[in-house]
Amino acid sequence: MSTPKARSEIFSVAPYVGGESKLPGVNRVIKLSSNEGPFGPPPAAITAMQEAAANMHRYPDGGMALLRAALGKKFGLDAAQIVCGNGSDDLLALLIQSYGGPGTELIMSAHGFSIYEIAGKLAGCVVRKAPEKNLTADIDAMLALVSPATRMVFIANPNNPTGTLVPQTEINRLRESLPPDVLLVIDAAYAEYVTRPDYDPGIALVNAGGNTVMTRTFSKIFGLGGARLGWCYAPPAIIDVLNRVRGPFNVSAMAAAAAIAALGDEHWLQDGAAHNTRERARLADRLTEAGIKVIPSEGNFLLLDFLEADRAIAADQYLRRHGIIVRYVKSYNLPSCLRVTIGTTEECDLLAETLIAFVNG
Ligand SMILES: *Cc1c(COP(=O)(O)O)cnc(C)c1O
């Protein structure tokens, strides 16, 4: 019997596997596998979402006027140059559908965020990956892949899962060296955690011309991953395209209410960033001292390199036996590495003690 056939490129993509959250037989699981904020959602966001639920028989404002105004105010941006999405994944996929497609090439770095490859292949693009140096995107290697078919370049800065940051001068050089009609997408999902003083999440390059987009998310420092909300800042012509291709109601009214409340919490960002900076350094120091190779990170996670795949798998299993779930990143072509999210102080201590015990046999 013949059956409906999906487009062939769909089968070139393996389904995305998210961080696990359960361990059989373990009651209290410490989940450090998805780079979520450690403190739950901002309390004001919970209240706002509950209040918005009383009106959920109404469609949301598809243009997200209030949320865009709040974002514009918080980050000093023109609200007309913002589009919101059902997570930033939504916007990344819409950009690829709009500017990529069959016959086009998309460039990313070897250990870049997996969604670019998944969404790129689904759209029919050829996805080309540039080798990295020291687990950091190598701008010259990315530029070497540019061909007449190149339409888009994606870079997460800082990158997930490596945590590494490309210096601002190099990001600027990438933009200057790319043909102007190639769209550069800077994914700044971890912008709020970066401590380097010269860092710009992409705003300056968006302002400088018509060919760069910055994407951001509420899933990390704002603690709203389950609500699904991302946004992008882009030149007017790209905003116009996104407003044509996005779902008319791609953000729920409840998510928008929660996000506006989260932005209104004066201390949330600052406190979350300060905690992350402190605990990230403390955890990195303890693990380094124990002999584990820690990749320097500007995100809310650390990539740990156990040098051999067997050793990484053994560490992962040891952590699981102690109720701690982290992320084995073999699918990122990093078979000797685990990615661990910065949790609460208590969670970081427990992770450090458990890994130290593992190392000491
Ligand atoms: C977590 C993450 C995102 C956020 O995705 P959402 O769809 O907004 O939850 C985007 N890019 C990178 C690199 C990430 O790690």
**Centroid of ligand 1 to alpha carbon of 228 (angstroms):** 10
What residues does ligand 1 touch, defined as CB less than 6 Å away?
A: 35, 87-89, 113, 156, 160, 187, 189, 217, 219-220, 225, 230
Average pLDDT, the chain: 96
**Centroid of ligand 1 to alpha carbon of 35 (angstroms):** 9
Q: What is the spatial distance between Cα 361 and Cα 3, in angstroms, rounded to a whole number?
A: 54
**Centroid of ligand 1 to alpha carbon of 217 (angstroms):** 6
Percent of the chain with pLDDT over 90: 91
> In this predicted structure, what is the pLDDT of residue 28?
85
The residue whose C-alpha atom lies closest to atom 15 belonging to ligand 1 is 160
Given the structure tokens 């140059």, which residue do they identify? 81
> In this predicted structure, what is the pLDDT of residue 305?
98
Atom of ligand 1 nearest to the CA of 113: 13
Atom of ligand 1 nearest to the CA of 217: 8
**Predicted confidence band of residue 220 (pLDDT cuts 50, 70, 90):** very high
> In this predicted structure, what is the pLDDT of residue 352?
98
**Centroid of ligand 1 to alpha carbon of 74 (angstroms):** 20
Domain limits, the chain: 8-31+268-359, 43-264
| Mutational pocket test of ligand 1: of 83, 216, 217, 228, the residue with most ligand atoms within 8 Å of the beta carbon | 217
Query: What tokens does 121 get?
Result: 């292949």
Per-residue pLDDT tens digits for 163-213: 999 999 999 999 999 999 999 999 999 999 999 999 999 999 999 998 999
> In this predicted structure, what is the pLDDT of residue 65?
98
Q: What is the spatial distance between Cα 117 and Cα 78, in angstroms, rounded to a whole number?
A: 30
> Which of 210, 211, 213, 192 lies closest to 202 in space, CA to CA?
213
> In this predicted structure, what is the pLDDT of residue 131?
98
Per-residue pLDDT tens digits for 300-333: 999 999 999 999 999 999 999 999 999 999 999 9
Q: Is residue 294 within 8 Å of 304, Cβ to Cβ?
A: yes
| Mutational pocket test of ligand 1: of 89, 251, 331, the residue with most ligand atoms within 8 Å of the beta carbon | 89
CATH class name, domain 8-31+268-359: alpha beta
Atom of ligand 1 nearest to the CA of 86: 7
> In this predicted structure, what is the pLDDT of residue 21?
80
Spell out the long-range contacts of 169-177 with Cβ–Cβ below 8 A and sequence spacing 24 or more: 169/198, 170/139, 171/139, 171/200, 171/202, 171/205, 172/205, 173/139, 174/139, 174/142, 174/143, 175/205, 175/208, 175/211, 175/212, 177/139, 177/143
Residue 353 has pLDDT above 80, yes or no: yes
> In this predicted structure, what is the pLDDT of residue 16?
79
User: Which one of 3.40.50.261, 3.40.640.10, 3.30.1360.30, 3.30.70.20 gives the CATH number of domain 43-264?
Assistant: 3.40.640.10
Phi then psi for residue 55, to 5 deg, are -115, 20
**Predicted confidence band of residue 149 (pLDDT cuts 50, 70, 90):** very high
> Which of 339, 346, 299, 310 lies closest to 18 in space, CA to CA?
339
Q: What is the spatial distance between Cα 341 and Cα 351, in angstroms, rounded to a whole number?
A: 10
Atom of ligand 1 nearest to the CA of 161: 15
> In this predicted structure, what is the pLDDT of residue 42?
98
| Mutational pocket test of ligand 1: of 16, 17, 36, 113, the residue with most ligand atoms within 8 Å of the beta carbon | 113
**Centroid of ligand 1 to alpha carbon of 115 (angstroms):** 9
| Mutational pocket test of ligand 1: of 115, 162, 164, 331, the residue with most ligand atoms within 8 Å of the beta carbon | 115
Exposure of 1 by Cβ count < 10 A (0-12 exposed, 13-18 middle, 19+ buried)? exposed
- Please tell me which residue, 25 or 141, carries the higher pLDDT value: 141
Per-residue pLDDT tens digits for 18-54: 777 888 877 789 999 999 999 999 999 999 999 999 9
> In this predicted structure, what is the pLDDT of residue 17?
78
> In this predicted structure, what is the pLDDT of residue 59?
98
Please give the radius of gyration of the chain, using alpha carbons only, rounded to the nearest integer.
20
